[in-house]
Structure 1
Amino acid sequence: MVTRRVDLRSDTVTKPTEAMRAAMAHAEVDDDVLGYDPSAAHLESEMARIMGKEAALFVPSGTMANLICVLTHCQIRGSEVILGDYSHIHIYENGGISTIGGVHPRTVKNNDDGTMDIDLIEEAIRDPNFDICFPTTRLICLENSHAHSGGRCLSAEYTDQVGELAKKHGLKLHIDGARIFNASVALGVPVHRLVKAADSVTACLSKGLGAPAGTIIAGSKTFIAKARILRKTLGGGMRQVGVLCAAAMVAVEENVGKLESDHRKAKILAEGLNNIKGLKVDPTTVETNIVYFDILKDVCITEVELLKNLEEHGIHAMAEGPRKIRFVIHHQISESDVQYTLSCIQKALNSLKNIAN
């Protein structure tokens, strides 16, 4: 019977710490839908300050947060948003911007580092005065760090360029900052600087920061007032939500400082994987807490088979495609867990060699 568990599926699997549970138990609460929950107000005020925006709003999830932001910027059905073809909003959020908001996605190819070429973004912008057959472009979305690109970070300079392009064409810029704190720590740049050019930004509190739930939206006071109405429309208005906000505040105060260690362990994991014959990963592309690796075609094992083998040893991860696996580090994964994972993978591949012989 396996007693050890190493959960590398995502940084969303973190468990609330004792400090978070204590904060939840003692949180001062009221009705947040009525605008009176003091713990929610405190978290929102602090997050607005950290992000350098006028106001902020707590919502249940990152998917709802991005949906609210897109719909607030694109209030007319048939509007268009430009976003990466591998962006989380486009691939992993159930097509909500289209099915619920009537917003048309116009995708631009994501580069390996998560960016989109500036000239391709500009080419994708529609001129509503040119042809009435076109939807009207109203918004550009970026993602930082970029999950599908392996947690790569977008620089402040790149984001500024996109922001200038948006202004030039009278558009808004939204940043899906689900892991914006990871990007900030990896780049050594404050969050407010990374999102300075953005009209809105989201930040997930339940990934690397480890809160039990919740995402923050930040923007202007006018934007947040509109977002608050949409939150209610989508069923995201909660009553004594200060219980969650108190835990989230602990997460921000205690766990941002742990992200650097997460990144270091991810780099150790990537280097170890790269040293295992039959696997391929470029450690130089591992900038934050996400590691993708490929199983080479000359190895007689699929990603499904390897994941099953690892689960038998208490290690849990996710496939990202044919012969590709993703590991995600969080603060409850130790360096010992990393070494244990590497040893189990090596044993799995060694057993294949013995069978072949």
Structure 2
Amino acid sequence: MALAAALPDLEVVGAEVVRLPKITPATLFGSGKVAELAARFEAAGVDLVLVDGPVGPVQQRNLEKDWGVKLLDRTGLILEIFADRARTREGVLQVELAALSYQRTRLVRAWTHLERQRGGLGFVGGPGETQIEADRRAIDEEVVKIRRQLAKVVKTRELHRAARRKVPFPVVALVGYTNAGKSTLFNRMTGAEVLAKDMLFATLDPTMRGVVLPSGRKVILSDTVGFISDLPTQLVAAFRATLEEVLEADLILHVRDIAHPETEEQAADVGDILESLGVDEDVPIFEVWNKIDLLSPDTRAALLVQDARTPGIHAVSALTGEGIGALLAAMGQALDAERVAAEVFVPFSDGRRRAWLHEAGVVTDERPEEDGFRLSLLWTARQKAAFEAL
């Protein structure tokens, strides 16, 4: 239901759990159930049927024919939502690539007169290529074209990321299950106006903003696409690039909808995806228990006690702002805690690198020498790498 509600201008008139004693290869459901549903759809004036699960190409074709409606399975619905949400050039290309991969697997013989085109004027003159083969070839050519365009976009994004590495500010990434409240929290912390709605996949393209912590430290906050269980394989591959921002983070905020009945299962899904991405084990992760304003007073009080006793857990309400100040302060402490002492020499002629160190706020002492400055530093591994990349 939540996935269906994520598509705009879609009115959901009903939902039902259909138990299947066995799967019918041709129509998924048994003939009696197909006929019963056909009558109900006609009476209700239904134009679109959503099936929360996989529906085979042949099953989809047969059901659409029997019911006289358009049918989308779980993968098709998620693709429709992503297509509606994509805004950046890369996001649009990723959606197109995933959609083509999905369509390629769903080419079935819909019209027998197109099964084979008449043979050409070759030496043998046998049967021509099937319509399915022609469609598949056309899709393959389009996939190659999109991958070329995507390679250019990805290269540009990598250049932007390389430029950001030289920026002295740490990166904090928001991750979490879709609809956990990441964008609302992002807006609360940054004062931005990123689309934040009570729907799945409200955010698809990564968004970044600067934030000044209570300590005066500047950080870059990154909002990412929400995770979801049973994400179609085409989308796992296609949207992996949008999650790569997480790999650049100095601190990860795992935002959880703590009021959701399946919050533990959602957290486990997010943990699995972070592990598959190859997130560095040394990067600190905060669990941000969001939406405490939706809890009963007793549950909320118990969570606040657990918050106070457990390092790395922060109970907040992105909607009301409760707990946000304490979270920002803890972020500053975590980013400061990972700093290590170092000493560097910067020649007089290299004023840009010296200015960079001062702007980053990592200089604890500076002594002029004959040929330059000797600086004592307290910095993170990321700041050290950024300095060396200058």
The answer to whether TM tops 0.5 is: no
- Larger of the two Rg values belongs to structure: 2
User: Which of the five TM-score ranges fits, normalised by the shorter chain?
Assistant: under 0.3
Query: TM-score of the superposition, structure 2-length normalised?
Result: 0.23
Query: TM-score of the superposition, structure 1-length normalised?
Result: 0.25
**More relative contact order, 1 or 2 (CA 8 Å, 6+ apart):** 1
